[in-house]
Structure 1
């Protein structure tokens, strides 16, 4: 194939298991390109913490390309069609290589524009799968088999050498657009493939043994969870190489009785990896779920934001210590475990009755590992908007007692409560005035009272949801959602899961 071979890196920031790079290198001289797209970074779910992780990963990708003989990664600022047209005009004939992407509606429309540009300019665009998502899938029948076959394929070999081309590269910016807000995240995970590989190894060889019992509490989850989610989201590691490394470790464990304690946690982790593809397939099959209720019964519910309630939730000052501690940890680190993500979403959408779209945008900006395909289907599920999932109305006080019984996590992230006795740490508003004074925490002054009565709010939310989903029309709509998005996993009794209101996984999945 003549002309320049443009390898467009998007959410695949690696040279390993990268079929577009392999095929482009076979075809001719390669121009490895990353486009800093202003339109993408002006989307309301984008944040500077996400860009920092990407920037660190791009620097390492640049070094990896240089080690393979290429001049390095070419960075260009601008909208993708304009940048690609500039390259085409400079080099004449060109071919475009990339991975498929399941992103938000903005990236969907951008890729459609790229497709039109390719047709108009006689540019061949070869796209390759990099995860379990199947394009143009009519329904979920047989999807799991597609995913399993892809994960079993051999990893794409890294090219021995790349014939690169020399072209001017723009500098990697401190922030991709000037309008992106300042975003202090001192506890953020570092980006780059090396950091991802270290996490994968430490999880499979050491930390993962505590995964099944440690992933639910924020006290233990930071170590017990894999922490691979941002590396999978931005592709410094491929999902396939993670799955295959996990399966190799499971074979080792099966062969050695001394490692039997690893069996359950590794099985649980592999199930989470499968759920990742399951949820991304939902957005691929119905991109509108980013902003439109899956089930029409909820179309007119939760349409307005209460500024006071929303701000209290988003800033970690609801008056429920455990909820506020979770939100503050998320602000500080860009990560929190799956159960706490689900609880934060539930509190916003059930107890405070806020729109899931606005709550989802705030959480998306906080998550370094923001993955649109997981995030929006999970926001709909955790807010009761699907018509096929159980209403998971987390009790914030019960979660506090269950996941942080001694208040250790609360005291770390809500220092206003540092001197509150254990007996009152979960519900400090129940202390009398003298005990508040002795604890150095006057409710309403040093720390807020609960913004609503959580039990009354939960009852009201449940009643409104049940009323919305009542009737034959609602049931028929639920069945339609199930046919398009429901799991086809078989039960132990030979039947299939998929009844309306079933629980379809947890937010954040594998962490």
Structure 2
């Protein structure tokens, strides 16, 4: 290869286990490049909290690459225009990057970059980053290929990068310079590979002991979950090194319960790619219902839809446990999987909101937003896949089960401080005399429930099951299952037959079928 090799960093902000960087370094001088794309950061699923995590990771990556000889070069603009300037200035011998399964905007951008590379006879080397397979015809054998990918040796960082004299590394803009909407998130996790490595070490060495018992309750999940999800989403850690580190640690343990906890975590690492594969195979699921007969099911109808969305998004539904979860997410950028699923369920069923509307709000709040996982889960939890059991969360039972003493509610809803524990999960059960004696008033200090959640859930359930019994629904669901369903031996199938009801309660199987990488 003649000319400069360009390594285009995307959501893979690390020097280690980065095959494009290692392979490109074997062909001479290379330019490690990250392009800040203002249009991307104005998309409705992007946010300042995500950019701040990314920016911290870029600053750390620049330092790491500088220690190898050539710092990260950052440019702001349209990728193909940045690449064209590099082609005219240096000549390009090859373009290297990881494959990306991003949102619809990045998919369209990659198509433009591919067209630009073909136009100038530049080979674009796209190397898989996860266990996701591009141009996958069917799922048979997918789990075996995933295992093979995860077992590959971890690629070392290059020993040295040849410095490019006179090249300005470029400024990494602030959120204000990108004109991002102010997004206070005081409890946000910090970006950068050292932060990710420290979390991985603390999880495998200590915190994972309580993983299985602590992942469901928001009182324990913030400590007992790995908290690696933003580092996997932004690529400061590779999935391969997490999988291998987890398995090596498990082999060293003698405590059966601890080994079992790490096995559960290993299964969720598998599900990480299982869900991303759905978006890779069918990019339209970000925008369109997977089962066509569910299309338009929750189009905004009647008065109050916008108000219900706004109340849910602000943590002001009048359902204390739901509101506490939303406010914790707003403040920290993270929430454990069960509570994420509950927020989507309440929005979709009790509030009857379109899954795209609620999904976009959550996408902006999640620092660890991973489009493939996020949109697959939004559809799964809202009942639009056609292949997953309908799970309508009971928000009161969830609170009683996972926050029985109301610690989480009291932390995030200080306006309920005066409410006795017996009424904390259902403050509307207090009579007026009790409220007056406490100097507290429902509707003034805290909102009345914006819907009758029990009757709304019953209505939603009947509407969904009636739809599933329509002619042609089951045949289409079977085709969807064939295309997207799991084939992994030993894991429970991702759905029951589309015409059967779950016997395990409103939320059976969530943690087994979902993803909890927190």
Query: Which residue does 1:150 correspond to in 2?
Result: 149
Q: How far did 1:497 drift? A: 6.3
Residues 494, 513 of structure 2: 8 Å contact kept: no
Query: Which residue does 1:87 correspond to in 2?
Result: 86
Q: Identify unmatched segments of 5+ residues in structure 1.
A: none
Cα distance in structure 2, aligned partners of 1:344 and 1:497: 21
1:290-346 per-residue CA deviation (whole Å, 9 max, x = no partner) reads 010000111121011711111110000000000000000000000010000000000
Query: Which residue does 1:226 correspond to in 2?
Result: 226
Query: Which residue does 1:194 correspond to in 2?
Result: 194
Query: Which residue does 1:295 correspond to in 2?
Result: 291
Structure 2 length-normalised TM: 0.95
Matched, 1:430 2:426: no
Q: How many residues align?
A: 504
1:53-111 per-residue CA deviation (whole Å, 9 max, x = no partner) reads 000000100011011111x1100000111111011111023310000000011111111
Query: Which residue does 1:23 correspond to in 2?
Result: 23
Residues 347, 393 of structure 1: 8 Å contact kept: yes
Cα distance in structure 1, aligned partners of 2:225 and 2:210: 8
Distance 1:179 1:497, change over 3 A: closer
Cα distance in structure 1, aligned partners of 2:339 and 2:494: 25
Distance 1:450 1:376, change over 3 A: same
Where 1:27 maps in the other structure, the secondary structure is coil
Q: Identify unmatched segments of 5+ residues in structure 2.
A: 503-508
For residues 134-149 of structure 1, what are the structure 2 equivalents within 5 Å?
134-149=133-148
Q: How far did 1:237 drift? A: 0.2
Residues 17, 155 of structure 1: 8 Å contact kept: yes
For residues 95-494 of structure 1, what are the structure 2 equivalents within 5 Å?
95-166=94-165, 167-175=167-175, 178-253=178-253, 257=254, 259-304=255-300, 306-491=305-490
Q: How far did 1:260 drift? A: 3.0
Q: How far did 1:122 drift? A: 1.4
Cα distance in structure 1, aligned partners of 2:95 and 2:497: 43
Cα distance in structure 2, aligned partners of 1:321 and 1:399: 11
Matched, 1:36 2:32: no
Cα distance in structure 2, aligned partners of 1:457 and 1:303: 16
Cα distance in structure 1, aligned partners of 2:375 and 2:176: 24
Cα distance in structure 1, aligned partners of 2:90 and 2:497: 55
1:347-387 per-residue CA deviation (whole Å, 9 max, x = no partner) reads 00111000000100000000000000100000000000001
Cα distance in structure 2, aligned partners of 1:296 and 1:179: 37
Cα distance in structure 2, aligned partners of 1:419 and 1:488: 51
Residues 188, 333 of structure 2: 8 Å contact kept: yes
Cα distance in structure 1, aligned partners of 2:214 and 2:172: 38
Cα distance in structure 2, aligned partners of 1:80 and 1:6: 12
1:106-155 per-residue CA deviation (whole Å, 9 max, x = no partner) reads 11111111010001011111011111100000111111111010000101
Query: Which residue does 2:505 correspond to in 1?
Result: none
Cα distance in structure 1, aligned partners of 2:383 and 2:495: 16
Query: Which residue does 2:73 correspond to in 1?
Result: 74
Residues 36, 176 of structure 1: 8 Å contact kept: no
Q: How far did 1:264 drift? A: 1.4
Residues 271, 515 of structure 2: 8 Å contact kept: no
Structure 1 length-normalised TM: 0.96
Residues 291, 357 of structure 1: 8 Å contact kept: yes
Cα distance in structure 2, aligned partners of 1:443 and 1:241: 51
Cα distance in structure 2, aligned partners of 1:165 and 1:303: 54
Cα distance in structure 2, aligned partners of 1:413 and 1:293: 34
Q: How far did 1:177 drift? A: 6.0
Cα distance in structure 2, aligned partners of 1:462 and 1:187: 36
Cα distance in structure 1, aligned partners of 2:414 and 2:350: 24
